[in-house]
A and B are shown apart, each in its own frame.
Chain A
Amino acid sequence: MKTLAKHREIWLALVIVVLVILVTLRFPRFSQPGNLLTIFNDTSILMMLALGQMTVILTRSIDLSMASNLALTGMIVAMTNAAFPGVPIPLLIAGCVVVGAGLGAFNGLLVWKLNIPPIVVTLGTLTIFRGMVFVISGGAWVNAAQMSPDFIALQRGAFLGLPILSWFAIVVAVLFFILMTRTPLGRALYAIGVNPTASVYTGINVGRTKFLAFTIAGAVSGLCGYLWISRYVIASVEVAGGYELTIIAACVIGGISIAGGIGTVAGALLGALFLGVINNALPVINISPFWQMAISGTAILLAVVLNARGERRQGRVILKRAEA
């Protein structure tokens, strides 16, 4: 039981299960497999973004520009598709990942080479990327009629009974699991978060690792740019406005410490899923969607209070402050 209490992912999973059961009591069809899969599919994009954000947060950084990056790459891919409908979709997706990674690398370079605090860099690029969407599109929308049928259909197709969008999330999650637990880069990300000074002495290039973390987060944002646009079939300046904080909220609820070094792939996925379940449950139990924001705010506060209890190790905190 004591080891169980240590695993906040298990607790979060339990909370989600209880939530689903409570909703099911009032609305039995909520927990039908088909509906649960819909919730998973609806949450896929948030899950991937949360994994990208986690990579950055682990290194004691933060990326506020992910939603703007998503909107910008989304607009670029939508305009490309509208102008050249013949370009094969896999190529477009690869292009999205590259463009997104490039935007993320720009953040990363400023953090690495100029040592500007990540919150300042991404606060700036948050507005710059979003503004660029307006500049390249002239404020116009790209709508469903302008997109090629393949562009819209790809993620809606099914494979082994699951929508392709869900498969994207699953593959990305597996890749991140391998990255975090089986590669030197993954270990470096955690090491930097736990103790940057000590990681320098173990031969980790702190700046370069942060740069890679931002690039990875950017690549994920870019991929989600295509997925978001083809899912909601509209590309505009307002796409995913304010979503950067939802991504961070998913991470916080998933037990990823904003102080760095703590967090798991499962946590990020469950944090996103928690928000997804709430979003899907509200209309079902007849609560106005206007409640959504206040509920996720309360969830963030509760999560951070509970997480802080698990993380509080007074002796270490003082040492950490002293060496900083």
Chain B
Amino acid sequence: MTDTPHRHLPDRLDNPLKSAILSWESLLVLVAVAIFIVNSFSSPYFLNAWSLSDLTFNFTEKALIALAMALLIISGEIDLSVAAIIALASTLMGFALQYGADTPVLVAIGIGTGIACGAFNGFLVTGLKLPSIVVTIGTMSLFRGISFIILGDQSFKGYPASFAWFGQGYVFWVISFELVLFAVAALVFYVLLHRTNFGRRVYAIGNNDVAAKFSGVRVERVKFILFCLTGLMSGMAAVLLTARLGSTRPSIAEGWELEAITMVVLGGVSILGGAGTIIGVVLAALIMGLVTFGLGLLNVPGIVMSIFIGALLIIVIALPILYRQLRSRR
């Protein structure tokens, strides 16, 4: 869809310490610390264990999706249907609830729907060789459309307390189940992307899928698995969000696809594929959580926060490019 940019090839590699200090991730750490400090000065309610715990609810569900989306974008594909998958999974859970499904069944339905939707996307993209951006714009309408057909202007309510625990429960003191799940998922995705052959294949495909194919990588299969993983994480997010809200409407999680993608791009993953780290995505998720929570404490309305997020996305990407342009001009 877009042009491959000019890739900068240095004459000699920087030493590891220098490149670690100048890396995207350390910039993100700086930004996160700065926002944290600004927050603690601007609101007396910020530095408090329960406030900080509430903060995590701002991003964990979206960040779960962003973890899988990062791998998908590194491989050169994209999934715009994740929020619609949440809507469909949540609707089907609510539907099953009407027939007396209990908590394990509800969770299974939520996650199962996610995987099925992901597999459907994956089949269309890899099996029929269609561009993922168009396919997932289509399935985005389709999945949420099915929710609207089932629910119309109604909503499902009355989830059992044992189900609500997934979205509202605490494992230990202020550590919520959502946060624990996100930490575990981040670790799993870190290992998957940075410590396994599968992860290397994802990078290889993103950099040059023809070359990857000729080196024996089963490109289609890897991409299919990534779509299923993204579906799985969306299903999980659906369970958490439904449990937290305690109700399902067809408009649930509207616009989350863009927030998840913003997290991924902010985390330093190249939208053109081939580059990015899980640590970056986790930091970006934290930054977005800090920004929205901090602004919330200052009574800034949600829609104004979205200006900050949008501007953050553009500025964070534009600054290094501007810097490079200015330096090369000199």
Interface residue ranges, A against B (CB under 8 Å): 60-62, 110, 114-121, 123-128, 130-132, 134-135, 139, 196, 206, 237, 242, 245, 248-249, 252, 258-260, 288, 290-298, 300-301, 304-305, 308, 312, 318, 321-322, 324
- The dominant DSSP class at the B interface is helix
- Looking at B146, B210, B254, B310, the one whose CB has the most chain A CB atoms below 10 A away is B310
> In the assembled complex, which residues on chain A have CB atoms less than 8 Å from the CB atom of B78?
119
Q: CA of A318 to CA of B208 in the docked complex: distance in angstroms?
A: 12
Tell me if B317 and A258 are in contact (CB < 8 A).
no
Tell me if A301 and B138 are in contact (CB < 8 A).
yes
> In the assembled complex, which residues on chain B have CB atoms less than 8 Å from the CB atom of A123?
258, 261-262, 265, 310, 313
User: 5 closest A-B pairs (Cβ-Cβ)?
Assistant: A294-B145, A297-B141, A297-B142, A131-B307, A293-B145
Q: CA of A292 to CA of B1 in the docked complex: distance in angstroms?
A: 28
Q: Take A119-B2, A126-B258, A135-B307 as given contacts and tell me if A249 and B135 are in contact as well, using a CB distance cutoff of 8 Å.
A: no
> In the assembled complex, which residues on chain A have CB atoms less than 8 Å from the CB atom of B325?
114
Tell me if B152 and A290 are in contact (CB < 8 A).
yes
- The closest CB in chain B to the CB of A260 belongs to B1
Tell me if A304 and B307 are in contact (CB < 8 A).
no
Q: CA of A300 to CA of B138 in the docked complex: distance in angstroms?
A: 5
In the assembled complex, B37 has its CB within 8 A of some CB on chain A: no
Task: Identify which of residues 251-285 in chain B touch chain A, using a CB-to-CB cut-off of 8 Å.
Answer: 254, 258, 261-262, 265, 271-272
Q: CA of A299 to CA of B253 in the docked complex: distance in angstroms?
A: 23
Q: CA of A245 to CA of B142 in the docked complex: distance in angstroms?
A: 12
Task: Identify which of residues 191-218 in chain B touch chain A, using a CB-to-CB cut-off of 8 Å.
Answer: 209-210
Q: Take A301-B138, A324-B4 as given contacts and tell me if A258 and B133 are in contact as well, using a CB distance cutoff of 8 Å.
A: yes
In the assembled complex, B303 has its CB within 8 A of some CB on chain A: yes
Tell me if B306 and A127 are in contact (CB < 8 A).
yes
For chain B, give the interface size range. Answer: 35 or more
- Looking at A119, A130, A259, A296, the one whose CB has the most chain B CB atoms below 10 A away is A119
Q: Take A259-B131, A293-B141 as given contacts and tell me if A127 and B309 are in contact as well, using a CB distance cutoff of 8 Å.
A: yes
> In the assembled complex, which residues on chain B have CB atoms less than 8 Å from the CB atom of A237?
303
Q: Take A291-B149, A322-B210 as given contacts and tell me if A304 and B271 are in contact as well, using a CB distance cutoff of 8 Å.
A: no
In the assembled complex, B90 has its CB within 8 A of some CB on chain A: no
Write the nearest CB–CB distance from B135 to chain A, whole angstroms. Answer: 6
Pick from B124, B152, B250, B307: contact of A301, CB below 8 A: B124
> In the assembled complex, which residues on chain B have CB atoms less than 8 Å from the CB atom of A62?
1, 133
Tell me if B134 and A131 are in contact (CB < 8 A).
no
Pick from B141, B152, B313: contact of A120, CB below 8 A: B313
Tell me if A127 and B1 are in contact (CB < 8 A).
no
Tell me if A116 and B318 are in contact (CB < 8 A).
yes
Further pairs besides A120-B314, A123-B313, A293-B144: 18, Cβ < 8 Å: A114-B318, A119-B78, A124-B313, A126-B258, A127-B309, A130-B303, A131-B307, A258-B131, A291-B148, A293-B141, A293-B145, A293-B148, A296-B141, A296-B145, A297-B140, A297-B144, A298-B142, A324-B4
Tell me if A292 and B3 are in contact (CB < 8 A).
no
Q: CA of A128 to CA of B304 in the docked complex: distance in angstroms?
A: 8
> In the assembled complex, which residues on chain B have CB atoms less than 8 Å from the CB atom of A290?
148-149, 151-153, 250
> In the assembled complex, which residues on chain B have CB atoms less than 8 Å from the CB atom of A118?
2
Write the nearest CB–CB distance from B315 to chain A, whole angstroms. Answer: 9
In the assembled complex, B301 has its CB within 8 A of some CB on chain A: yes
> In the assembled complex, which residues on chain B have CB atoms less than 8 Å from the CB atom of A294?
141-142, 145-146, 148-149
